[in-house]
Structure 1
Amino acid sequence: MNQGDFVKEQQKERFHALDNLRVLAFGVLILYHIGMFYVLDWGWHIKSDTQFGWLQDVMLLTNQWRMSLLFLISAMVLGVLLKRYPQWTVVRERTRRLLIPLLFGMVVIVAPQVFIEGTVNEIFDVSFFQFYGQYVNPVTTWLPEHQSAIGLLTWNHLWFLPYLFCYSIIIAICYPLLARLASAWPASLDKPHFFMTLIIGLTMVVWLALRQDYPTTHDLVNDWYSHAKYFLVMLTGFIIVSRPVIWSQLMTHRRVLLIVAMVMYAVIIAYRHDAFGSLSEDEQNSPRFLLIVATVVVTNHWCWLGAILGYGKKYLHYRGALTRYLNTAILPYYLLHQTLIVVCAYWLMPLALPVWIEFALILSFTALGCAAGYELVRRVSWLRPCFGLRQKASGQASQIDRAETVKAIAKGENSA
């Protein structure tokens, strides 16, 4: 095998691992959102009458890194596309595949969530159609305390799309500069202990400087801690795909990363259960304590991401038919899943079923609803752009669309 073939083989392996990791990441997201219905004390759109405190410990396992993983994978896909296609072609594709589904999702898909949340929490008592007329009216005077700059319209779980769009556009526009910086990246920083120390240190600065003053809001405008955190994750993904040796190093050291991640998670759980004794408010706000917390939380965050990438490269480099199917279906699944969860949970609440039966029904309804929704969408030409799918080719396809039929990496655009 010559050098060119070797590089192509390495690229193919990486891309297949990303496809599989993406599917697993969205599967975790669906389970997490079902868990939000049952977890004690954590606010959500609607809550079960039966809630579990122990579920917090389980959900904290992924809570620290699940969305970062999606941003990381998206950035790696973006980095490869920018190497292959003109940056403005990529900008156009990202705009089409992210903004159109976002607008459609806000107007159509999210509306039942908002209606059910308002009904259950006794914010209003009207029919869905009365509510919807006000929901899509940007100058409505109804429920002013619940409005934003665009009225009652909201993106709820779809916040990932506008954030990803903004970060992607910035990276695409700055690609020539970023590519030069990646080329000038010191080879010594490719070593995992240096690389992880660098990104952990930078994230700790973000955590300490912004987290308390700018708590997460998902409103895009004032969410500065989230922006700094996730944009740093995006830049890290871009560097990893630009410096393939880093991913190889993460694979080599995946066991160490997993062990450190598990230890940090155990420390977090132990602290939550007062294993280290109770601390006064002054002690909890002291610079020393905040530095310790930042070290544990951020190390936990990045070691899980590093371990996942490492194990993904080692064991998920195959290309299966199910993965090919689900990678195309991921964005429709993402758009639909939370509304299906909320609707099904709302229907089942009056029945007071045993929790395990209710959970199984919600999970089944969500999975089947996503599958049925995707199968409908892919067959209706005018719906396809609303869910981020390409129009069926008629005549000459665009350069990037043509390539997507034969190159596994371009399928990643459907998941962004």
Structure 2
Amino acid sequence: IIMTQEIHVRRYDIDWLRCLAFLLLIFYHVGMYYVFDWGWHIKSAEQSVWLQDVMVWSNLWRMSLLFFISGLVTSLVAHKLSHWAILKERSFRLLLPLIFGMFVIVAPQVYYEGLTQDLFEPGYWDFWLHYINPNSEFLSDHHGPIGLLAWNHLWFLPYLWCYSLILLAISPWITQVLSHRLLQSINGKCALAVLILVMLGIWFHLRANYPVTHDLFNDWYSHGKYFWVFVVGFALDKFPVLWQRLIECRRGLLIVAFMCYVFIIMDRHQMFQPLADLYTSSNGVRLFYGSIFVTNHWLWILAIVGYAGRYLQFSNRFLKKINRAILPCYILHQSVIIVFAANLAYWAIPAWVEAPLLIVSTALCCYLGYELINRSKVLKPLFGLK
């Protein structure tokens, strides 16, 4: 496969990756309903311990993959549009759906979360009037900075908008640095070492002091990790030779990524307990663990990009359809899961039957929701559609 930087060549592999990464969220968030001991908005009466090991596989890189793809798309779009046009489009497609989503789409999540915890009596309209009023005293112990209003799973939208604003502001400098002869001659091993070392520094210095909050203002570990991934995605478009190397080395990347994952699972099951006991007292041990986690994080992303570049360089009607539907489906999916799950719980269906039913129902409802949105001039901009 010949890689070029011609602006008229559309990267269908990136379209596929974007769609598949968002679709993974449906499976992941259904899993959050059933997984044992991981907090979520509502939880099933039947919870699984072994599901943790399955979900750890994608938990360490799934959101980073979305930011990586977003950075790459930003670079590809920058060939065609001005920075101002990109920011205007991002604002339209991210901020308006965020505001609408907080007031309308996320509200059922907060309602059913409170209902399952017996915090109030059933009655959605009365709840919603309190929910949209930042000055309401209703459930004051559960208030955030703007009362009960929350963005929950939509946190990705303001983060992406902020990163886009910063990156577009500094992109002339980044482009100048990336075009330097020394960087343009960098080989794959050195590039991978840079990715890992920078991420390891972020992991070592920020992870313990800044737990993940998704509140935008006090989430510095997340910002360090996701912005770095976003910048690397933006930079990959400038290095077609390295992109080609990812495709050529995809099997090796996948094998090492799987080995890192196996180590993480074995460690979770206390198979390296003498080593784990030194984690808090030894910086060397912390760096060792950090290196495993960071390497696992990057190699899964790079392997996936490599496999997509090898096998997904094509388009079809399904891709065209789902590529347009993916943002509305992302906005809808978690609320749909929670509404269905909360109501299915009354039927006490076995989890092995309920979980597939929940996945299919969510996918179908999101698709039907998109079809409705796509036919409405009012709803389109509220869900990020042109």
Contact 1:189–1:195 (CA<8 Å) still a contact in 2?
no
Distance of 2:341 and 2:376 partners within structure 1: 28
Partner residue, 2:17: 21
> Corresponding residue for 2:158?
162
- The corresponding residue for 1:319 is 315
The Cα shift of 1:243 comes to 1.6
The one-character-per-residue Cα deviations of 1:130-165 (angstroms, maximum 9, x if unpaired) are 110010012212222211221110000111000001
Of 15-24 and 280-289, the range deviating more from structure 2 = 280-289
Q: Secondary structure at the match of 1:53?
A: coil
Secondary structure, in 3 states, of the residue corresponding to 1:384? helix
- How many Å separate the matches in 2 of 1:160 and 1:189? 34
Query: How far apart, CA to CA, are the structure 2 residues paired with 1:363 and 1:41?
Result: 21
- The equivalent position to 1:62 in structure 2, one of 34, 58, 62, is 58
Q: Provide structure 1 residue ranges, at least 5 long, that are not aligned to the other structure.
A: 391-416
- Rounded to whole Å, the distance in 1 between the matches of 2:5 and 2:330 is 33
1:238 to 230, 234, 250: 234
Separation of aligned partners in 1, 2:204 and 2:4: 43
State the TM-score, normalized to the length of structure 1.
0.89
Q: Any conservation in 1 of the 2:98–2:158 contact (CA below 8 Å)?
A: yes
Q: Is the 8 A contact 1:38 1:51 kept in 2?
A: yes
How far 1:189 sits from its partner (Å)? Answer: 6.0
Structure 2 residue aligned with 1:91: 87
- In structure 2, which of residues 301, 309, 317 is the aligned counterpart of residue 305 of structure 1? 301
Structure 2 contact 5–240 (Cα < 8 Å) conserved: no
Q: 1:154 to 1:178 in 2, by over 3 A?
A: same
**Which residue does the alignment assign to 2:336?**
340
**1:196 equivalent in alignment to 2:192:** yes
Structure 1 Cα separation of the partners of residues 367 and 74 of structure 2: 26
Q: Give deviations 1:336-365, integer Å, cap 9, x for gaps.
A: 000110011001112111112101211111
Displacement after TM superposition at 1:127 (Å)? 1.2
For residues 317 and 285 of structure 1, do their structure 2 counterparts lie closer, same or farther at Cα, with a shift above 3 Å needed?
A: farther
Question: How far, CA to CA, are the matches of 1:87 and 1:74 in structure 2?
Answer: 15
CA contact (8 A) 2:275 2:285 kept: no
Q: Which amino acid aligns with 2:256?
A: V
CA distance in 1, matches of 2:257, 2:22: 21
SS of 1:336 mapped into structure 2: helix
The answer to whether the Cα contact below 8 Å between 1:188 and 1:194 also exists between their aligned partners in 2 is no
Return the letter of the residue paired with 2:385.
Answer: L
Partner of 2:137: 141
SS in 1 for 2:244: helix
CA 285–56 in structure 1, closer or farther in 2 if over 3 Å, else same: farther
Match of 1:226 among 211, 222, 229: 222
Correspondence 1:387 to 2:364: no
Cα-to-partner distance string for 1:312-343 (whole Å, 9 max, x where unaligned): 10111111110111010000000000011001
Q: Give the corresponding residue for 1:215.
A: 211
List aligned pairs for 1:6-45, cutoff 5 A.
7-8=5-6, 11-12=9-10, 15-45=11-41
1:265 aligned residue: 261
Q: CA deviation at 1:121?
A: 1.4
Which ranges of structure 2 fall in alignment gaps of 5 or more residues? Answer: none
Tell me which amino acid in the other structure corresponds to 2:249: H
Indicate the residue corresponding to 2:120 in structure 1.
Answer: 124
What secondary structure, in the 3-state scheme, does the structure 1 residue paired with 2:379 have? coil
2:354 is the counterpart of 1:366: no
**8 A contact 1:25–1:69 mirrored in 2:** yes
Query: How far apart in 1 are the matches of 2:17 and 2:313?
Result: 10
Give, as a single letter, the amino acid of the residue that structure 2 aligns with 1:229: K
C-alpha contact (below 8 Å) 1:37/1:47 kept by paired residues: yes
Could you tell me whether the CA contact under 8 Å between 2:278 and 2:285 is conserved in 1? no
Contact in 2 for aligned 1:208/1:291 (Cα 8 Å): yes
Provide the residue aligned with 2:182 in structure 1. 186
Q: Distance in 2 between matches of 1:64 and 1:137?
A: 36
Deviation at 1:26, TM superposition (A): 1.1
Supply the AA of the counterpart residue of 1:210: L
Q: Is the 8 A contact 1:191 1:249 kept in 2?
A: no
By how many angstroms is 1:82 displaced?
Answer: 1.8
Contact 1:76 1:237 survives alignment (8 Å): yes
- TM-score normalised per structure 2: 0.96
* Residue of structure 2 equivalent to 1:401: none
| Counterpart-to-counterpart distance in 1, 2:238 and 2:281 | 39
Q: 1:7 to 1:81 in 2, by over 3 A?
A: closer
Distance 1:182 1:283, change over 3 A: closer
Deviates more, 1:277-286 or 1:360-369: 277-286
Partner AA of 1:16 in structure 2: Y
